[in-house]
Structure 1
């Protein structure tokens, strides 16, 4: 019905073509989208919006009329921002940090509300909603020795009643997905997000409030963005066990996500970048669409549940090249990479046949299947790469994790890939050493080898406090990468030279690994279920 109505609309427009004498020239009548003539066409076809209600047509000169025009201008301006406006980042700076004791995820400090209150949130490209612990019925502790942070760290709890800029989001809002559970359209919108990780969810109500940002340039201009926040009253599963205890910052493609709202408001283009350093330091910049020399691949969009999914067309392990088709989600909210067969078996078996070191027997204390005894400088490992749609290679610089079996004992290294049943997730460890651009404007994923310390934008803003002043985490929380010899590096068939990683991976103690094992074994922390 919708298609036939659109065709009839085109025929109606075609009927307006005016022939001038016998020459092959013609013209169109142009009508404003809210004009009386266009309204007649629309009403004659009984066009409807996606909710099934009659198309709302604002009266000319009314508040709704000008609000609709302004909203259109904001969206259009957001589309034109590429290259014309500086990227923005959090008020405290663009720094992110990987925290081993909090699920090995990247975190950033954000300021929300008026007056601004600080929260230490996990950054997640696998889900959409930005939620904070709020009016708690069941929330993670505000402090705990298990977090592995400084002893004096105490997390804040969000309270909309104490923010001068907070507003309830009504059930009639386009952001409300659970409006069917409301008693009226004026009621406050509830939300419930479930994640793939077993029994992990967040439930509460939606609130509008201010997220405090600043431009990531020498101007250091502050930006107060109205965004949607989930007032998370009840958390379950791994949210109560050290994973995102102070909130989750969804960076997905759906309208409720912060990148989508920043674009709709005309603040930035619908794109952002994240840089992942081997030592756990990172960067995040909203509105960043990358550089002209970055590699790119188109995103594969499922309209029912859009995610940052890419198409893998081949892979390389050392000099062994394989072709095939598989989809994978790029998820910063997953610590390590999860692959289903045949990808998992092809990579793991080829890697195993290329390694000359002694493989250790299965150990329930270690979540990885392929682990080997490190022989100092004598160990060599093959390089890895994924070929994505378009033919360019996505290099895997850090596929290996080092583990201390016993204090002063053997050091082993593991292929840090976990096997899943039916889904492929490219986790943070496969993104390390790269700046990844998640471009929802052009629907592409971009990547480029990067030194995150050089990708720092501007970190000298006097008005902005230093990032995470109360959270004592960083590179000193774990051992630095240890160098190891790499196996021969080959050039993939697509002509892109594969770069060898500079180190074998990150070193963790077995006692630490056992401590976070329940988190690591929970498949895909923060990919939301729709």
Structure 2
């Protein structure tokens, strides 16, 4: 969605993506541990915004998730009087963007509006401990104070499944999680996100990438900097078109959005080359969000042309899987070109990041990428991930957000026992993760 110095170590956050029915959201989520005593929150990972906020003493928020079987999983709500390590953030703090302060000691109020219609989070800023778990016996686990939005009121898609239990801001501004970790000297000012083709993934703070990766510079602006890059050429199935445009790499957006002429250049050439029968929507009220979809059957093979985006500097970014499998009760199972037409920003969404380890190098101000399966990758400054303590991925949990004034008492809270841990062999930040489909 678009809005005492320790050794510099790599801190790894693990997450899993769940692909779901087309009318709903598919985002990477991770369990993060905050406060004293620690509470777990299932947060969406978002490079398109900066603030890390949690539902907190809220009057408008999601309090639980309902599975397809009707079971309700209660989500934790941060309560100001329950954490002994919580501090207030005054209006005079450099983390505060409030333009007018009643007094220097008054709390810093915030309101963040997102590109999705009528979607926002508002409340005030606090500080509390984020628990960074390492698996190196020689290194103690790191607990560090971090700025958090006490989200009292959420609106829009936040009440319909996007970030039901908080948003983990990974943007460029000083209030974001990687910015704070770098300012404290915990990591170098860079991180990577790896998007596996099987839906699994991980985020590694401090990862600066490798010498053999592709890269392109960020386009920076003083007000609200983003991970914005320049694409200079589009190639579909060997047909090249020179066209320069800017796009934001945004892990908080499920699919890719492009303006014309880029959208039409890609979609029409793709449609002319794909070997498949195009699906015709049954009615103008079709729920399909994609313009170019294709019927599939058990005995049919679909051949799709390759798609390459040439980045500024000349390095190629091959989209490993431009096709998105979707399911509709009305129109059946389809394969669609995972691009939607935009009338504002160009956004490279999660689907175009699949199969890559994307490096957000904020120190050198460039984006890096390298193909990866997210399990066997050996980072340039770490030892490999150990898989000896990693159980198999559990099935996806299909859920609906449940907005209530009081949590249900019928079922236990969403707890670490419902997820699993992947051990790291270096000093990573290791957090629990779950595969969840939001309906």
Matches of 1:414 and 1:220, distance apart in 2: 47
Matches of 1:153 and 1:237, distance apart in 2: 21
Residue of structure 2 aligned with 1:151, choices 71, 76, 94: 71
Residue of structure 1 aligned with 2:307, choices 381, 384, 406: 384
Evaluate the alpha carbon distance shift between residue 427 and residue 300 of structure 1 in structure 2; reply closer, same or farther with a 3 A threshold: same
Please state how far the C-alpha of 1:404 moved relative to its aligned partner. 4.5
Aligned to 1:265: 184
Residue of structure 2 aligned with 1:278, choices 165, 188, 197: 197
Partners of 1:99 and 1:474 within 8 A in 2: no
Aligned to 1:98: 17
Which structure 1 residue ranges, 5 or more long, are not aligned? 1-69, 479-514, 517-530
**Runs of 4 or more consecutive aligned structure 1 residues displaced over 4 Å after TM superposition:** 216-220, 404-407, 458-462, 471-475
Evaluate the alpha carbon distance shift between residue 436 and residue 469 of structure 1 in structure 2; reply closer, same or farther with a 3 A threshold: farther
Which structure 2 residue ranges, 5 or more long, are not aligned? 378-383, 395-414, 421-432
Q: Comparing 398-407 with 153-162, which one deviates more in the overlay?
A: 398-407
Aligned to 2:64: 142
Evaluate the alpha carbon distance shift between residue 371 and residue 189 of structure 1 in structure 2; reply closer, same or farther with a 3 A threshold: same
Matches of 2:81 and 2:327, distance apart in 1: 48
Matches of 2:115 and 2:51, distance apart in 1: 15
Matches for 1:21-60 after TM superposition, within 5 Å: none
Residue 360 of structure 1 aligns to a residue whose secondary structure is coil
Please state how far the C-alpha of 1:402 moved relative to its aligned partner. 2.2
Aligned to 1:48: none
Evaluate the alpha carbon distance shift between residue 125 and residue 404 of structure 1 in structure 2; reply closer, same or farther with a 3 A threshold: closer
TM-score by structure 1 length? Answer: 0.69
Aligned to 2:385: 457
Matches of 1:385 and 1:468, distance apart in 2: 40
Aligned to 1:171: 91
Partners of 1:139 and 1:234 within 8 A in 2: yes
Q: Which has the bigger relative contact order, CA under 8 A and spacing at least 6?
A: 2
Deviations 1:395-434 (A, max 9, x none): 1011112234569x96421101111002110000000000
Please state how far the C-alpha of 1:191 moved relative to its aligned partner. 0.4
Partners of 2:63 and 2:77 within 8 A in 1: no
TM-score by structure 2 length? Answer: 0.82
Partners of 2:308 and 2:318 within 8 A in 1: yes
Matches for 1:168-247 after TM superposition, within 5 Å: 168-180=88-100, 182-215=101-134, 219=138, 221-247=140-166
Matches of 1:233 and 1:331, distance apart in 2: 25
Partners of 1:99 and 1:107 within 8 A in 2: no
Number of residue pairs aligned between Structure 1 and Structure 2: 388
Residue of structure 1 aligned with 2:418, choices 461, 470, 481: 470
Residue of structure 1 aligned with 2:48, choices 126, 134, 137: 126
Decide which structure has greater strand share.
2
Evaluate the alpha carbon distance shift between residue 149 and residue 209 of structure 1 in structure 2; reply closer, same or farther with a 3 A threshold: farther
Partners of 1:316 and 1:385 within 8 A in 2: yes
Residue 85 of structure 2 aligns to a residue whose secondary structure is coil
Please state how far the C-alpha of 1:152 moved relative to its aligned partner. 5.5
Q: Comparing 275-284 with 396-405, which one deviates more in the overlay?
A: 396-405
Please state how far the C-alpha of 1:439 moved relative to its aligned partner. 1.1
Matches of 2:77 and 2:190, distance apart in 1: 29
Evaluate the alpha carbon distance shift between residue 257 and residue 405 of structure 1 in structure 2; reply closer, same or farther with a 3 A threshold: closer
Residue of structure 2 aligned with 1:396, choices 288, 311, 319: 319
Partners of 2:29 and 2:434 within 8 A in 1: no
Partners of 2:31 and 2:434 within 8 A in 1: no
CA RMSD of aligned residues (A): 2.7
Aligned to 1:8: none
Residue 244 of structure 1 aligns to a residue whose secondary structure is coil
Residue 144 of structure 1 aligns to a residue whose secondary structure is strand
Matches for 1:437-452 after TM superposition, within 5 Å: 437-452=359-374
Please state how far the C-alpha of 1:215 moved relative to its aligned partner. 3.8
Matches for 1:407-422 after TM superposition, within 5 Å: 411-422=333-344
Please state how far the C-alpha of 1:100 moved relative to its aligned partner. 4.0
Matches of 2:175 and 2:56, distance apart in 1: 18
Please state how far the C-alpha of 1:457 moved relative to its aligned partner. 3.1
Please state how far the C-alpha of 1:270 moved relative to its aligned partner. 1.4
Aligned to 1:487: none
Pairing 1:108–2:27 present: no
Partners of 1:207 and 1:231 within 8 A in 2: yes
Aligned to 2:380: none
Aligned to 2:346: 424
Matches of 1:299 and 1:346, distance apart in 2: 24
Evaluate the alpha carbon distance shift between residue 457 and residue 356 of structure 1 in structure 2; reply closer, same or farther with a 3 A threshold: closer
Residue 312 of structure 1 aligns to a residue whose secondary structure is strand
**Rg larger for:** 1
Please state how far the C-alpha of 1:362 moved relative to its aligned partner. 3.1
Q: Comparing 166-175 with 378-387, which one deviates more in the overlay?
A: 378-387
Aligned to 1:316: 235
Partners of 2:98 and 2:109 within 8 A in 1: yes
Evaluate the alpha carbon distance shift between residue 410 and residue 110 of structure 1 in structure 2; reply closer, same or farther with a 3 A threshold: closer
Evaluate the alpha carbon distance shift between residue 312 and residue 189 of structure 1 in structure 2; reply closer, same or farther with a 3 A threshold: same
Pairing 1:288–2:222 present: no
